[in-house]
Amino acid sequence: MASTLTTQTRVKDLGKPRVVIIGGGFAGMEVVRGLKDSDVQTVLFDRYNHHTFQPLLYQVATSGLETSAIVFPFRKRFSGYHDFHFRLGEVKNIRPEENFIETTIGGIDYDYLVIASGATTNFYGNAELEAKAMSMKTIGDAITIRNQIIRNMEFALLYEDQESMNSLIDFVIVGGGPTGVELAGALSELKNNVFPKDYPELDLAQMDIHLIEGSPRLLNGMSDQAGAKAKSYLEEMGVKVQTGCVVKSYDGMNLVLSDGRTLQTRSVIWAAGVRGNPISGLKEESVGRNNRIKVDAFNRVKGHENIFAIGDVAQMEGDALFPNGHPMMAPPGMQQGRLLATNLKNLIEKKPLKPFRYHDKGSMATVGRHKAVVDMGKIRLQGFIAWFIWMFVHLMSIVGFKNKIMTFWSWTWSYLAFDRSNRLIIGKGKN
């Protein structure tokens, strides 16, 4: 397995099959876990040294959780795993003909390659929005949003004219999926329960929270009933919900909508879509719709025998129930990761592979205190019971016992005191 690129990753060849995994999200983590007791060498590459529980990023962004509650170091998570190596680096290119990848810290050979590089924010080609709006995919993004929310409130105190003040305390969230709905609800709770105590000098009746969705309804991946109830909850909390409307432009102050309206705000949070984040070097026909990598029923990349893709970056062909690929959420990726670990062991042992079938256990979204929607098969739940189920499922899904305790404590304090734990500005930022 010779290569012309100097190898600096310092991963010793043990004479065992080497499985290289790109990305330590939900899908990639499951592959590492599934290979724990196998006679293989596992190498995980990620540009961060930690796993992030992305479903709760919005709570960090709105001061509901400490950053450390939803991140967990890879080295701690996989401490004691036999023949496991983590390397902090970004994979830049794949050279399939050589079974080799190029990274920011050097190159490495592989016997089997697993691409679990996830998704990135989709601005649908609008460079202006990409430059001016805020996205929320990483813990750094969440901190940036939190900084801006709190900083805007502080600076709003300094303005006498109403227009300038309103541009600071008005927020627009674009995208009515779970992220947008949950973020709008959390911002509304800040406005109604926290900011009146922190900023008594401000007239918070002037603070507007807008949620813009291009389709006719919210929560398109869930039932009509869930979407309608989420909209009702948000409007009860004071959020201005606009469906069937898209953003045309945003210059950092003026947001122009397709219905001709213009909203003045210095804060636009983009939650309107994601697209796959593939790695260069694959065959051209391997990358398809929405920048996702085409895979077969075994998550094998089209045109490549020993390269696999799982999670958000993968688009499985031939599934009649999901002709455009599985939902870009954690459950499909985790299920794919677990099965792929089994199939990699089957490949090595020359056993038949098992095709992937997604088992949809349901979807859920929370809007605020005692307000959530849950779809489980034909069961539709709303209100307190749905809210409790949402909390329990997310709490149990967080990696690490300490993280679970921190999250439970933060939620308990918020529930009892109508308060948020972390209203801090980290870093200098913009004025």
The residues carrying an active-site annotation are 182
* 3-state helix, strand and coil shares in percent for the chain, rounded to the nearest 5: 35, 25, 40
Task: Give the integer Cα–Cα distance in Å for 365 and 367.
Answer: 7
Angle between helices 224-236 and 178-189 (to 10 degrees): 20
Token look-up 């080295």 returns 75
CB 198 within 8 A of CB 169: no
DSSP 249-275: EE-SSEEEETTS-EEE-S-EEE-S-EE
Task: Give the integer Cα–Cα distance in Å for 34 and 421.
Answer: 36
Task: Give the integer Cα–Cα distance in Å for 136 and 52.
Answer: 12
Q: Which two tokens stand for residue 399?
A: 């990696």
108, β-bridge pairs:
101
